[in-house]
Amino acid sequence: MINFIEKLPKAELHLHIEGTFEPELMFEIAKRNNIKIPYNSIEEIKEAYKFSCLQDFLDIYYQGANVLITEKDFYDLTYSYLEKCAEQNVLHTEIMFDPQTHTQRGVKFETVINGISKACKDAEKNLNVSSLLIMSYLRHLSEEDAFKTLEQSLPFKNKITAVGLDSSEKGNPPSKFIKVFEASIKEGYIPVAHAGEEGDADYVWEAIDLLGIKRIDHGNNCLQDENLVADIIERDLALTVCPLSNTALKVVEDLKDHPLKNMLKKGLKATINSDDPAYFGGQVNQNFIEIQKALDLTKEEIYELAKNSFQYSLASDAKKEAFIKQLEIYYNNNK
């Protein structure tokens, strides 16, 4: 089964580039930028990565991102993640980035986007990993601040496919961002949002009804409301589920209690993702491996999850078709 998962062609649809920052690279970049970080060793870092909730994690995640200054820093961070994609048979990835985490510290929007997008272009050529970008607004900041970010992004519109919404969910409902999502859609960006990770089902309703999102990041708490589940199925929206993130942030106590199987049984289209792999203890394949074991998933269910990852990606129809064909050949030869 582990071998089946490792070789399985797949896409990753929920990934924060700032969350891929492995301690080794963080030390290296901190050193070359002459920035002090509050850890002296990898062991100290691992000790700090024990979280009790989303906010607990976010505080440490934003601190880690502080060492990213130059275009090369963003390039190295992104390329290093894309190398991991190639190793894991991730054919396609949709990378979220948080411009405000960097522009707030005086780093220019163009530094961030140019570093990330150059790495994506090089990885497409050298590693055969396809990717696209999701610019995520930080929901703990104001809608006005998100508007500034939208404005800054416009000269780079051709490098960005979608807009997202992340950071502290509780107290920052989707309704806070109706206008900026409306404006983003007008500019041609596809809307997605984190909803129902710590927030209740009504946050998922808002994200669908008020922001018009095309995919739900996490979405676990949609299960609180049967009508919502029916609506999500009716609208054919996928959930980007992140098992190891859920246990690391205590959204789910134990992987054995994870609602993934229940989601699939209800007819929801779920995908498996790593969210912030450097912080939550595993890349996407590790997420597949651990959730398979915890819920005793069959090869057919694993195949279904991988198929969803291509089907519900934001790639072109032609690309999706080619990816799914590759997956089907693999599955038929290995089931």
In the three-class reduction of DSSP (H, G, I as helix; E, B as strand; rest coil), residue 223 is classed as helix
Partner whose footprint covers residue 197, from Zn ion, ligand HPA, none (CB < 5 to 8 Å by kind): ligand HPA
19 binds, among Zn ion, ligand HPA, none (CB under 5 to 8 A by kind): ligand HPA
Could you say whether residue 98 binds Zn ion (CB under 5 A)? no
Smallest gap from residue 286 Cβ to Zn ion (A): 16
CB 219 within 8 A of CB 229: no
> Applying CB under 6 A, does 290 fall inside the site for ligand HPA?
no
> Is residue 167 involved in binding ligand HPA (CB under 6 A)?
yes
- Tokens 């199987």 belong to residue: 261
> What is the SS3 assignment for 55?
helix
Question: At closest approach, how far in Å is the CB of 161 from ligand HPA?
Answer: 18
Tell me: does residue 278 bind ligand HPA (CB under 6 A).
no
Least separation in angstroms between residue 305's CB and Zn ion is 17
Alpha-carbon distance 40 to 7, whole Å?
36
Q: Is 206 a catalytic residue?
A: no
Residue whose C-alpha is closest to residue 94's, from 26, 12, 182, 200: 12
CA distances from 315 to 92, 153, 242 (A): 8, 20, 20
Alpha-carbon span 237 to 213, nearest angstrom: 8
Taking the complex as a whole, the smallest distance from the CB of residue 321 to ligand HPA amounts, in Å, to 30
User: Residue 205 and residue 225: Cα distance in Å, rounded?
Assistant: 10
Does the footprint of Zn ion cover residue 18 (CB under 5 A)? no
Q: Length of the chain in residues, anyone?
A: 335
Query: Per CB under 5 A, which region of 101-109, 131-139, 183-191, 272-280 contacts Zn ion?
Result: 272-280
Residue 195 CB, shortest distance to ligand HPA, in Å, is 10
Q: Is 12 a binder of ligand HPA (CB under 6 A)?
A: no
Total of chain residues touching ligand HPA, rule CB under 6 A: 10
Q: Choose the one of ligand HPA, Zn ion, none that binds residue 304, judging by a C-beta under 5 to 8 angstroms depending on kind.
A: none
Give the binding range for Zn ion (CB under 5 A) out of 101-109, 258-266, 275-283, 324-332: 275-283
Residue whose C-beta lies closest to ligand HPA: 166
Q: Kindly write out the interface string for residues 48-77 of this chain, putting x where it contacts ligand HPA by CB under 6 A and - elsewhere.
A: ------x-----------------------
Contact yes or no for 322/91 (Cβ under 8 A) = no
* Helix/strand number for the chain, H first, E second: 17, 9
**Catalytic residue (one of 12, 71, 169, 197):** 197
Residue 147 burial (10 A CB sphere; 0-12, 13-18, 19+): middle
Does 275 bind ligand HPA (CB under 6 A)? Our answer is yes
What is the rounded end-to-end Cα distance, in angstroms, of the chain?
Answer: 10
Q: Please, which residues bridge with residue 10 across strands? A: 90
CA distance 154 to 184: 10
Q: Which residue among 275, 290, 327, 331 contacts Zn ion (CB under 5 A)?
A: 275
The contact set with ligand HPA (CB under 6 A) reads: 16, 19, 54, 166-167, 194, 197, 245, 275-276
The contact set with Zn ion (CB under 5 A) reads: 275
Task: Please give the positions annotated as active site.
Answer: 197
